Structure 1
């Protein structure tokens, strides 16, 4: 039964981790988000009370 021989599967496991840890992060971090959040305006605005017509 070949699945009991760990030699080829260990190399595949190591190669997969190398791909995920070395090659993928720069590719993922290179993408720019098109919806960059901006800092909110900190100026205070004067709030006015609503003039309800039925009061």
Structure 2
């Protein structure tokens, strides 16, 4: 039965994992975010307590 011969399927498995391990991570890591985070202001905003009418 030809489907039990592991020779071509093992080679395909090894080659596909080599592609997954070498090519795909380098392509994914080379992408940059279009929206780089901006530094936050160092000033602190003053907050006021809420005036709850039912308390």
Counterpart of 1:20? 20
Alignment TM-score, normalising by the size of structure 1: 0.70
Shift of 1:44: 1.3
* 1:47 matches 2:51: no
Range 42-51 or range 12-21, more displaced: 42-51
Residue equivalent to 1:5: 5
Q: Report what 1:34 is aligned to.
A: 34
Q: Taking structure 2 as the reference length, what is the TM-score of the superposition?
A: 0.70
1:47 Cα deviation from its structure 2 partner = 1.6
